[in-house]
Amino acid sequence: MKTQLLMATTALAVTFGAGAQADTLRLLTWGGYAPEDVVAKFEEQTGHTVEVTKSNNEEMIAKLRATGGGGFDLAQPSQDRIAGPQAEFGIYKPMDLSKINADLFIPSMLDATKANTTVDGEVYGVPHVWGTSGLVVNTAEAGSVKDYTDLCSEDVAGKVSYRLKRPTLIGFAFAMGEDPFAAYGDPAKYEEIMGKVEEALIACKPNVKTYWGGGDELMGLVRSGEVVASMAWDTGGWKLNEDNPDVTFVAPASGALGWVDTFALPAKGKADDVAYEWINFVMQPEIAAMITAAAGNFTASQGADEFASDALKARYQASFPPEAIDNIKWYPPVPAGLEVIEGGVLDRVKAAN
């Protein structure tokens, strides 16, 4: 497999350097997504220059709104920050998928991101860096916890934790056999689902040691043994695994909840061809592994986990066999009004005795 990937990398490098006109790529991205060693390799192989501006979702949208989609040639908003801003402000341009090497992407992630970034039949984003929330479990003491609702079992009474936040509502809904994302367009149905989740979370309160607020707090609770199972992020579980091999991230049976930061073309970008070159370059497995080392999260590059450090590769592959990857529930854009429903549920759960 590695031989095939190396051959593909060599072929792509030849393509990048073959008579391409030198140009500048103005990249609006997150910290760690365009590390200096990756930029240097791209510039060496293509003759192009990359100007990196580090940002976040809110700033990206603000910058592109202020210029009508100008000032940058490639941006990296989260997938749920594309359809809404595009429909309202027109700050992106459609992707030419014929210029994307789809074979470099994990198919289920590419398909999900294309679906979640489609506006009026046009695709506006493809996936890059991703992560999930699911379960962090001490497998020696809470091996029975396989899904979100298992946090409410007698086996772990008084030793579980989760946040009173939106991901908890969504995770419990999926574990209860509902599909909250499918109900996004039907507020009445969504409220019905959230009502069932509210009942479950109130009934589960005696099991909860505490509702954690920050990552450091959760790390301390798990390390001390006060908490043996929790909802948390994958990277947090892998960090804890470094200290205690019994603790790790578990993708829930009903599906981990996934976020994706994408590649999107600003409406007034001037270097689309260079942007596509960059996308195809950084999605090569060996290059993608360099980005994982810098950013801490994996990418949607097919096979890139094989080039990660041995320790991280082992943790990733244990948490995410192929079927768990395909079962990730990717966050779509949130319609207006649902936050009010969710907020009411969370307030009532918190107040319940």
By C-alpha distance, which of 211, 324, 314, 200 is closest to 258?
324
By C-alpha distance, which of 300, 301, 317 is closest to 309?
317
Contacts of 297 (CB under 8 A, 6+ apart): 129, 130, 131, 235
**pLDDT, the chain, mean:** 93
Instruction: Read off the pLDDT band of 14 (50, 70, 90).
Output: very low
β-pair partners for 160: 208, 229
- Please compute the mean of the pLDDT values over residues 272-291 and round it to a whole number: 98
pLDDT at position 333 is: 87
The rounded distance, in Å, linking the Cα atoms of 132 and 234 is 6
pLDDT at position 334 is: 86
Is the pLDDT confidence value at 7 over 60?
A: no
The rounded distance, in Å, linking the Cα atoms of 181 and 307 is 34
Q: Is 347 helix (H, G, I), strand (E, B) or coil?
A: helix
User: For the structural domain made of 2-130+259-315, what CATH number should be given?
Assistant: 3.40.190.10
pLDDT in tens, 295-346: 999 999 999 999 999 999 999 999 999 999 999 999 998 888 898 999 999 9
Domains 2-130+259-315 and 132-258+327-351 fall in the same CATH topology: yes
- pTM (2 d.p.): 0.86
- Please compute the mean of the pLDDT values over residues 45-70 and round it to a whole number: 96
Domain positions in the chain are: 2-130+259-315, 132-258+327-351
Is the pLDDT confidence value at 5 over 60?
A: no
- Is the domain defined by 132-258+327-351 classed in CATH 3.90.1280.10? no
- Please compute the mean of the pLDDT values over residues 213-219 and round it to a whole number: 91
- Please compute the mean of the pLDDT values over residues 178-190 and round it to a whole number: 96
Q: Are residues 39 and 343 in contact, defined by beta-carbon separation less than 8 angstroms?
A: no
pLDDT in tens, 26-50: 999 999 999 999 999 999 999 999 9
pLDDT at position 11 is: 41
